[in-house]
Amino acid sequence: MAEPLPVTEFIKALKNEGVEVVEYKTTWRTHNRGKRGDGWGPVQGVMLHHTVTRGETPEEVKRSVQLCWDGYDNLPGPLCHGVIAPDGKVYLVGYGRANHAGLGDDDVLRAVINETKIPADNEANTDGNARYYGFECINLGDGKDTWPPEQIDAMVRVSAAILRAHGWNKNGEGFISVIAHEEWQPGKVDPRGPGYPGHNAVRALVAERLKHPASWTPGAPTAPSTYTVKAGDTLGEIAERFHTTVAKLAALNKTLIKDPDDIQPGWKIKLK
């Protein structure tokens, strides 16, 4: 159980973690959904999302942040606490209850609290907006819009900042109190896309970060060096996803790949 951080502690934690914070409007600290549903708190984890909007130009970034402030007709804002732009800047748009998580699975919440493996989300019985800090990352979520390393780094830093401030890092390894919206609410897919390393990899990066002081700056984020083939994958798609070519992958994995059109689920292929 945890009371939400006082807003001054929240912003201090982010800054200490090296996050470039932008206070979008001066009123963000009290911009929230009040006591609707279960209100806000006890808080138990951090949830990551993508916006399904563009963020290539400053105007597009501004429009995305404004949308997260305003929300939609049927889903009033704020839609999160912070919006993470592709360049890694984090725009603060709300504090308190925000409309980001919706109803999710109580088994998942238990795993988040206990820092254990996240089970499948097959129920929608728990008010997530009361339980999670929420960050929306600007990305179209169409499986093509690429996540820059700066944006991934900012996701890791905001997550680590909150976990550090709450002391939510019991086991010190990959199972920590950070989840994707996809893992919480049946039917959701976010976040996803090329350059996004996957939920477990993000958790591992946060866990690694928490072994260091908040001021830690790792080397440039590195791309993964292997990939495990899933059912339905083609070598062409894998090459595109990791910004390489079929020929390079075939050459790197010539003991495994005899025919580029014949790859099997479970194969662990080298990417570089």
For the bound state, the minimum distance from the C-beta of residue 155 to Zn ion, rounded and expressed in Å, comes to 13
Encode 235-251: b = buried (16+ Cβ within 10 Å), e = exposed.
Answer: beebbebbeeebeebbe
Number of H helices and E strands in the chain, helices first, is 8, 12
Q: Is 183 in the site for Zn ion (CB under 5 A)?
A: no
* CB atoms inside a 10 Å sphere around CB 17: 24
Q: Which one of residues 17, 115, 153, 190 is an interface residue with Zn ion (CB under 5 A)?
A: 190
Q: Which is nearer to Zn ion, 50 or 203 (CB)?
A: 50
Task: Report, in angstroms and rounded to the nearest whole number, the Rg of the chain calculated over CA atoms.
Answer: 19
For the bound state, the minimum distance from the C-beta of residue 4 to Zn ion, rounded and expressed in Å, comes to 20
Could you tell me if 200 and 174 are in contact, meaning their C-beta atoms sit under 8 angstroms apart?
yes
- With CB under 5 A as the contact rule, which of the stretches 46-54, 55-63, 231-239, 263-271 interacts with Zn ion? 46-54
Q: Is 49 in the site for Zn ion (CB under 5 A)?
A: yes
Q: How many residues bind to Zn ion according to rule CB under 5 A?
A: 3
Q: Is 17 in the site for Zn ion (CB under 5 A)?
A: no
Name the region of 2 (left: φ>0; alpha: ψ -120 to 50; beta: rest): beta
For the bound state, the minimum distance from the C-beta of residue 233 to Zn ion, rounded and expressed in Å, comes to 25
Question: What is the spatial distance between Cα 138 and Cα 37, in angstroms, rounded to a whole number?
Answer: 27
For the bound state, the minimum distance from the C-beta of residue 137 to Zn ion, rounded and expressed in Å, comes to 10
For the bound state, the minimum distance from the C-beta of residue 47 to Zn ion, rounded and expressed in Å, comes to 8
Beta bridge partners of residue 71, listed in sequence order: 76
Give contact residues for Zn ion (rule: CB under 5 A): 49, 181, 190
